[in-house]
Structure 1
Amino acid sequence: MKVTFDATGEVVVITGGAQGIGAALARAVTACGGTAVVFDVVKPGFDVDYVEVDVADRSAVGSAVRAVVSRYGRIDGLVAGAAVQRRTPVVELEPAEWTRTLQVNLDGVVWACQAVVPHMVSRRSGSVVVFTSGLAVTGYAGAAAYASSKAALTAFAKSLAAEVAEHRVRVNVAAPGVIDTEQFRGANAGTDREHWQDTIGIGDPEDVVGPLLFLLSDAAAMTGSVLTRERAFAKLATFAE
């Protein structure tokens, strides 16, 4: 069964969209006829509407969202993907690293939702997608800050979904699995990378695009759900042999 998506006339804001999964999604939204607007601290290396924003700055996020609404008159989708990920043992965690991780990974999602969701509520239409991680359930050595932020996001998204469901605004969570991005490579060098490759496998950013487009589309008649991609296709092929 082949599926196609039509985003003609729609506007999707993607935080952290300069690289990795966000960049792949931004390209896909554009290819589907929509407008992708990337919020990031670095400029994307491809042609897309870009706003330099540190999502940890609530005021900056609000200003950026108001500019998008002023320019396009609407925001149909929000994919809150901006995140930082480092590997530091708990006993070595400095307050600055802990705080920065939560400010970007958790607060940044809250600020983006606070700015975007009221516009969706007023139009009685819209889809929000946030990202969790398998580490939020299993934990991982050195990843306490990252895992904690991702666990909190699931509770946040489910709570927001309950608040706005009556306004026909959907809020769902994507758990993309282990994906080969710049951030992943920086946090999982050497034996860590080998661990993931030898267990659940490592996917590509493009592997996540279809599920994200689905969650953004009218076909995803659900809210408060977690869409999980457990294993990379290469590993599944190995199991099938």
Structure 2
Amino acid sequence: MGERVALVTGAASGIGAAIVRELSGRGWTTVGLDLAPADGADHCVGVDVSDPAQVGAAIGRIRRELGPIEAALCAAGHYAIVPVSDIAWEEWRRMLRVHLGGIVNVCKNVTPEMAERGRGAVVAVAAETAIGGGEAAAHYAAAKGAVIGFVRSLAAELAPAGVRVNAVAPGPTDTPLLPPDSPWRRPSYLQTLPAGRLTAPAEVALAAAYLAEDATFCAGEILSPNSGTVI
């Protein structure tokens, strides 16, 4: 097959950085798309994933310089704990632009060529709050829920062409998105989890890499590495 190129958004930190490390260890050539430098990736392009023009230009450049993109893994996002009555309209829109819009912008640019070649994989990072809800995070849960709906719809559309579209939906994960005073880090919360701890970014990366590489039978699936938060 030759050199395998994987595009990873949100590659500078957290789950995205863990995905880069996992794929690099498996021999992939990794390209990070992020506003911050993605030092662990083989290549890095500074991009606001919510901007369709920036994403399109970046992917065109990657394709010219490195060749076809075999896998696109979309981990860019942000999180906030805010009661629904206090969420500003701009923050509702920003959540959707980054989480849903970022994935849509990537898919519009990579999946046509994947379908033409008859192979390829897209893996989106959703969240268990999209499945089970989350107190004081309605805008985040709604955006991630939209991601799941998009993934399942696109999977049905592209599976006949040999393109696999799936998602991981991790529970609270030990990344900088959860500050030290986060309620998800409190012992009282951790004791409610069957695993008794937060999910590790490397564990989410393993699930994402599995969907990108080995899960040739999966289309529209949602894997939930969540320490038992949602069973």
TM-score by length of 2: 0.91
Output the amino acid matched with 2:217.
A
Aligned-partner SS, 1:172 = strand
Q: Which residue of 1 aligns with 2:190?
A: 197
Whether contact under 8 Å (1:120, 1:126) holds in the other structure is yes
Map 1:1-241; keep pairs closer than 5 Å: 9-46=3-40, 48-183=42-177, 185-186=178-179, 189-194=181-186, 195-200=188-193, 201-231=197-227
Whether contact under 8 Å (1:18, 1:45) holds in the other structure is yes
Aligned-partner SS, 2:219 = coil
Q: How far did residue 45 of structure 1 move?
A: 3.8
CA gap 1:107/1:25 in 2 versus in 1, 3 angstroms: same
Q: How far did residue 73 of structure 1 move?
A: 1.4
Whether contact under 8 Å (2:133, 2:141) holds in the other structure is yes
Q: How far did residue 10 of structure 1 move?
A: 0.5
Aligned-partner SS, 2:68 = coil
Instruction: Describe the superposition over 1:120-175 as per-residue Cα deviations: whole angstroms up to 9, x where unpaired.
Output: 11111100011221111222221011000011111110100111111100001111
Distance 1:190 1:129 in 2: 27
Q: How far did residue 190 of structure 1 move?
A: 4.2
Provide runs of 4+ in structure 1 moved above 4 Å: none
Equivalent pairs: percent with the same residue?
34
Q: How far did residue 176 of structure 1 move?
A: 2.1
Output the amino acid matched with 2:141.
A
- Aligned-pair Cα RMSD in Å: 1.9
Distance 1:86 1:222 in 2: 31
Aligned-partner SS, 2:77 = coil
Q: How far did residue 196 of structure 1 move?
A: 4.0
Aligned-partner SS, 1:182 = coil
CA gap 1:90/1:122 in 2 versus in 1, 3 angstroms: same
Which has the larger displacement, 70-79 or 38-47? 38-47
Q: How far did residue 96 of structure 1 move?
A: 1.6
Output the amino acid matched with 2:192.
T
Distance 1:156 1:116 in 2: 15
CA gap 1:47/1:115 in 2 versus in 1, 3 angstroms: closer
CA gap 1:49/1:172 in 2 versus in 1, 3 angstroms: same
Output the amino acid matched with 2:142.
S
TM-score by length of 1: 0.87
Whether contact under 8 Å (2:32, 2:41) holds in the other structure is no
